[in-house]
Amino acid sequence: MIECFTRLRVCLGRLSDWIAFSAGTARLLRRLRPQVEWGSTSDSRGVTRPPLRGKTSATLGNCKSQTTLARYGNSAATSASLDSGRFQAQIPPALSFSPGDDSPLFSASLMQPLESLRRQHHALLPPYLLRLPPSTELASEGAQRFLIERVLRDVAISPYTAERGYERTFWRRIVAELERGVSGLHVQDDSCVSMHTILGRSYEGDRGGRSVL
């Protein structure tokens, strides 16, 4: 009888240890789960911000990627192709587009397609064969400055401009692409602003304010 009582006591002790271990593990997993699954972030004060998920995080990712930019002047030698890659040309660093210190920044990876577009324009490549960068990148302020200074008013060919009919078809396509890109940039900016606003309000709600979610 005493032996049975002792065994039962040992079993109950192991059971309580197991329950305590399970509860601790569950508590630990609950603490880790939001950070692992939804990528919620904590600031320097240790306050956890609302998690991001799905399309929202992708939109914010695009906004963030726009801030990782470099100046043309820092870009290394890149290659440009003319007319479907038959003419491979190396762009020396000296040709890097550097309008000035107060110039807007844009992606260094955009240098190659823009320089290629410049050469295609000067060589009168038919506009339907042009290979353009994405419209949102083409519509960026730096890319527009490049188009104006190195394509539209290029001093290298200033006395020998292209024929009026070619200019008409070329710039029709470019302007249409720019307008599409500018509208896309506005939509992107609005989504970024609204998401930051929502996150900010939600953050205020977590601290006791009025939540809009």
Q: Which residues bind another protein (CB under 8 A)?
A: 82, 86-87, 89-92, 94-95, 118-119, 122-124, 139, 144-145, 147-148, 152, 156-157, 160-168, 171-172, 174-175, 178-179, 182
In terms of CB distance, is 47 or 77 closer to another protein? 77
| C-alpha–C-alpha distance, residues 173 and 165, integer Å | 13
Output the smallest distance, CB 185 to another protein, in A: 10
In terms of CB distance, is 168 or 196 closer to another protein? 168
Per-residue burial over 104-135, b = 16 or more CB atoms within 10 Å of its CB, e = otherwise: eebbbebbbbbbbbbbbbbeebebeeeebbeb
Output the smallest distance, CB 164 to another protein, in A: 5
In terms of CB distance, is 50 or 184 closer to another protein? 184
In terms of CB distance, is 78 or 107 closer to another protein? 78
Write phi, then psi, for 43 (nearest 5 degrees): -85, -170
* Inter-residue contact 82 to 89 (CB < 8 Å): yes
Output the smallest distance, CB 78 to another protein, in A: 11
Output the smallest distance, CB 199 to another protein, in A: 30
Output the smallest distance, CB 46 to another protein, in A: 45
| Residue whose C-alpha is closest to residue 140's, from 171, 118, 111 | 111
* Inter-residue contact 96 to 72 (CB < 8 Å): yes
| C-alpha–C-alpha distance, residues 79 and 44, integer Å | 44
In terms of CB distance, is 52 or 178 closer to another protein? 178
Pairing of strands 78-82, 87-91: antiparallel
